[in-house]
Amino acid sequence: MTDLSRPSTGSSSPEVAPGLLRTAGRRLPRRTAGPRPFVTLAACLLLLASMLAALLVGAADIAPRGAALQLLDWLPFVSADSGLAPVERALLLELRLPRVLLAAIVGGLLACAGAGYQGVFRNPLADPYLLGAAAGAGLTTTAVIVFTTGEGDTLLVPGAAFAGAIGGVLLAYALGNVAGRGGGTATLVLAGVAVTSFLTAVQTFLQQLDVEELQRVYGWILGNVGGGWEQVRLILPYAAVSVVVMLLYGRLLDVLSVGDDEAASLGVNVARVRLVVLLAASLATASAVAVSGLIGFVGIVVPHVVRRLAGGSYRVVLPLSLVGGAVFLVLADLAARTVIAPAELPIGVVTAFAGAPFFVAVLRLTRRVET
Amino acid sequence: MRPVRIALVGALSGVLALSGCAGSTEGAGNTGSTADPSATTAQSPQGAAFPVTVQAGNGPVVVQKRPERIVSLSPTATENLFAVGAGPQVVAVDDQSNHPAQAPKTTLSGFKPNVEAIVAKKPDLVVLANDIDGVVGKLGALGVPVLVEPAAAKLDDAYDQITDLGLATGNVDRAEEVADGMRKQIEALAAEAPKDKKLTYYHELDSTPYSATSTTFIGQIYGLFGLTNIADKAPDAAGGYPKLSAEFVVKADPDIVFLADTKCCGQSRETLAKRPGWSGLSAIKKDRVVALDDDLASRWGPRVVDLVKQVGEAVRKTATS
């Protein structure tokens, strides 16, 4: 926790647009930043491959050839006879396909939001849940589960989770502004820690009120991307808006990474950039949480992998995190539903299992940079 | 029913199996040694000889005299106590004990037991299902006898718990009657059910969807009717209560669906049909979705008979249609 509170200097030196730096007269970039067509193409191909694998494998044995033909048939302007039974067809198109798509969208959103938070806070350990989004969503969802019978589960829980996530972030933001005038990002992070502890305490209290529902709360927290088409449709507009905003601000995040004063001297409205990216990242987080629960580690693991493979410019990190997060969560969900099939592991267990060792490695690496 | 309690079942069933439930016979011997057996049956319950030793989940427990201020922190134990006629001796039950209606419900919790609040009821016997936060040791140190009656792992355990509680409360005869009655009714219901149809079923604990395999108590109930459980395909690593893959349930297409999440989670045939990909399930199309009472399907007390009746009815309807 204390690590999160200090203004970080640990992130690898970002590549900054050359034109902007020349005026500042500071360290010149080693290579020009910008979209990397080959890396991007490779990442997209990887995403397609993992989605295809996830679509063809599952607890119910469907002949891969039939499934592939059925998927082709599903695409517009293509028709193919898959020879699948109606049950198998429904299973593939109503269960597996939306599940894979939802995993991809949620993974992309969380990773992209994580990269955004890291840029805003200039802290490599920032993740989408830093400012109380998870605790807020956890609280409202627990309240819904405890106080209702779950009749309207399909919309009630996502709505509550979304409102809670947004509420948690706004509370932390307001608190950070009140507590530390001009205190910068460190105060904000501390406010996030305080809000998270407070909301989690209330959530735990609610849980105690109705221990019978403990399992449902727990299950929601560990995450689930099996929501079906309804949830995919639900999340799409929010996903689109937040991602577009974040991608557009990649360049300004690069400028921000040289420091507040330098960025300001370059004519950047630091406070506004920070607020806009924060809002967009929080919107992305809230919509992901709404349909999938609290899936950990995607938001912190993926941006770091991307940084190490493709460099630290946010114009590269943000889009590649989007694709990389999608790949990671599609594969994690594939593992979650096949390792002990026909039983399932909670997806949060898989992401944390793969993510936790990586997190330790990042901790070690950043310490080495600082000393 | 939520697998929270279930997890505890798993953890505690081993304890139960080890300790056995020989209490009733031992206690009966005890009764016989101090009073003439023929006189015992004729006497009022108060006449039953105390002290008695009960073999509970926490080992042999000596009850010195007929308890008059019983506190029950387990819904199943509450139902058992009232069934064996110990209801008038019960002064407080926990917040989850909602049956029978005349049970003196309080805010006491069996999941987060508060020793001071329990002692404030001045109990001379406390019955609970799980030793949480060391509550048994603390009450023991205060001189309050505690019976731990963990959730039964099989039908015989359920019968034993009823006779245990009968012995501990001085209602031996009534308890024997209740247990024997249950045994006979359940055996009769199982015997008259058609078993030649090789029906499959899916038992749902919540909409995630968690299910239960044949090794669990509820699974054994379905086993009485010769039903095949689709959840048995889940590997042992998933425990007796695996979270199944929704697509697996659809593919398995069970003949009957039993819902034990009607009260907790408002599930029904209608909500099932709305789940992505589920509308084609033959159990939904042919109206073979059986809405169980969550409590009946998670408390292994006297009302297990009602559960067995409901299952038997569903099996009969499905097999003859």
Q: B144 near B132, Cβ under 8 Å? A: no
Lowest-pLDDT range, A80-94, A95-109, B10-24, B293-307?
A: B10-24
Tokens 């099932």, residue located: B272
CB–CB of B234 and A208 under 8 A? no
Mean pLDDT of B223-229: 93
Q: What is the pLDDT of residues A321-339, one digit of tens each?
A: 999 999 999 999 999 988 8
Question: Residue B70: which of B51, B53, B85 has the closest Cα?
Answer: B85
The count of other CB atoms within 10 Å of the CB of residue B278 is 21
Residue B12 pLDDT class (50, 70, 90 cuts): very low
Mean pLDDT of B155-176: 95
pLDDT at B178 over 60: yes
Mean pLDDT of B246-267: 91
pLDDT at A54 over 90: yes
Question: Residue A12: which of A253, A257, A242, A203 has the closest Cα?
Answer: A257
The tokens for A162 are 């979304």
Q: What percent of chain B has pLDDT over 70?
A: 85
Instruction: Find the CB nearest A342 among B112, B208, B244.
Output: B244
CB–CB of A219 and B253 under 8 A? no
pLDDT at A21: 41
Rounded Cα gap, residues B263 and B258, in angstroms? 13
- A158-197 as b/e: b if 16+ CB within 10 A: bbbbbbbbbbbbbbbbebbeeeeeeeebbbbbbbbbbbbe
Quick check: A210 contacting B, CB < 8 Å? Answer: no
pLDDT at A73 over 70: yes
pLDDT at B61: 93
CB–CB of B238 and A230 under 8 A? no
Q: Which amino acid is at B245?
A: S
pLDDT at A258: 85
Mean pLDDT of A53-70: 86
The full DSSP string for B90-137 is: EEEE-TT---STTS-B-S--SSS--HHHHHTT--SEEEES--GGGHHH
Mean pLDDT of B264-279: 88
Which has more pLDDT, B17 or A367? A367
The residues, ordered by sequence, that sit 6+ positions from B40 with a Cβ below 8 Å of its Cβ are B31, B32, B47, B48, B49, B172
Q: A50 near A335, Cβ under 8 Å? A: no
- Our CA dihedral for A290, A295, A297, A298, rounded to 10 degrees, sits at -60
Residue B232 DSSP class: G
Mean pLDDT of A134-159: 81
Q: Classify residue B115 by burial, with Cβ atoms within 10 Å: 0-12, 13-18, 19+.
A: middle
Residue B10 pLDDT class (50, 70, 90 cuts): very low
Question: Residue B57: which of B133, B162, B129 has the closest Cα?
Answer: B129
Bridge partners, residue B202, by sequence:
B257
The tokens for B291 are 């809405």
pLDDT at A267: 87
Chain B residues inside the 8 Å CB shell of A153: 207, 265-266
Rounded Cα gap, residues A225 and A102, in angstroms? 6
Q: Classify residue B171 by burial, with Cβ atoms within 10 Å: 0-12, 13-18, 19+.
A: buried
pLDDT at B260: 94
Residue B36 pLDDT class (50, 70, 90 cuts): very low
pLDDT at B51 over 80: yes
Q: What is the pLDDT of residues A81-108, one digit of tens each?
A: 877 888 888 888 888 999 999 999 999 9
Can you tell me whether residue B66 is helix, strand or coil? Answer: coil
Residue B183 pLDDT class (50, 70, 90 cuts): very high
pLDDT at A126: 87
CB–CB of A343 and B244 under 8 A? yes
- Our CA dihedral for A336, A338, A341, A345, rounded to 10 degrees, sits at -10
- How far, in Å, are A286, A297, A316, B272 from residue A126 at the CA level? 16, 11, 18, 40
pLDDT at A27: 44
- B67-82 as b/e: b if 16+ CB within 10 A: bbebbbbbbbbbbbbb
Chain B residues inside the 8 Å CB shell of A216: 2, 206, 208, 264-265
Can you tell me whether residue A279 is helix, strand or coil? Answer: helix
Rounded Cα gap, residues B195 and B32, in angstroms? 44
Which of B245, B270, B279 to probe the A interface (max A CBs under 10 A)? B245
- How far, in Å, are A26, A102, A245, B7 from residue A41 at the CA level? 32, 21, 22, 47
Which has more pLDDT, B237 or A71? A71
Which has more pLDDT, B120 or B20? B120
Lowest-pLDDT range, A24-38, A279-293, B52-66, B140-154?
A: A24-38
Which has more pLDDT, B47 or A145? A145
Lowest-pLDDT range, A28-37, A200-209, B49-58?
A: A28-37
Chain A residues inside the 8 Å CB shell of B109: 211
Chain B residues inside the 8 Å CB shell of A230: 276
pLDDT at A13 over 90: no
Chain A residues inside the 8 Å CB shell of B248: 59-60, 341-342
pLDDT at B91: 96
pLDDT at A63: 85
Which has more pLDDT, A332 or A305? A332
Mean pLDDT of B260-276: 89
Which of B133, B206, B243, B263 to probe the A interface (max A CBs under 10 A)? B243
Tokens 């989770």, residue located: A161
Widest distance between CA atoms in chain B: 67
The count of other CB atoms within 10 Å of the CB of residue B48 is 22
Q: Classify residue B64 by burial, with Cβ atoms within 10 Å: 0-12, 13-18, 19+.
A: exposed
pLDDT at A76: 82
* Enclosing H/E stretch for B259: strand B256-259
Nearest-by-CA chain B residue for A345? B243
Q: B129 near B73, Cβ under 8 Å? A: yes
Predicted complex ipTM: 0.71
Across chain B, mean pLDDT equals 85
Rounded Cα gap, residues B78 and B66, in angstroms? 17
- Our CA dihedral for B152, B158, B163, B168, rounded to 10 degrees, sits at 30
pLDDT at B206: 86
Give, in degrees to the nearest 5, the angle at Cα A129 between A172 and A1.
80
Q: For strand B52-56 and strand B59-63, is the pairing parallel, antiparallel, or unpaired?
A: antiparallel
Across chain A, mean pLDDT equals 82
Which of B114, B215, B247 to probe the A interface (max A CBs under 10 A)? B247
The count of other CB atoms within 10 Å of the CB of residue B84 is 28
Nearest-by-CA chain B residue for A55? B247
pLDDT at A183: 57
- A267-281 as b/e: b if 16+ CB within 10 A: ebebeebbebbbbbb
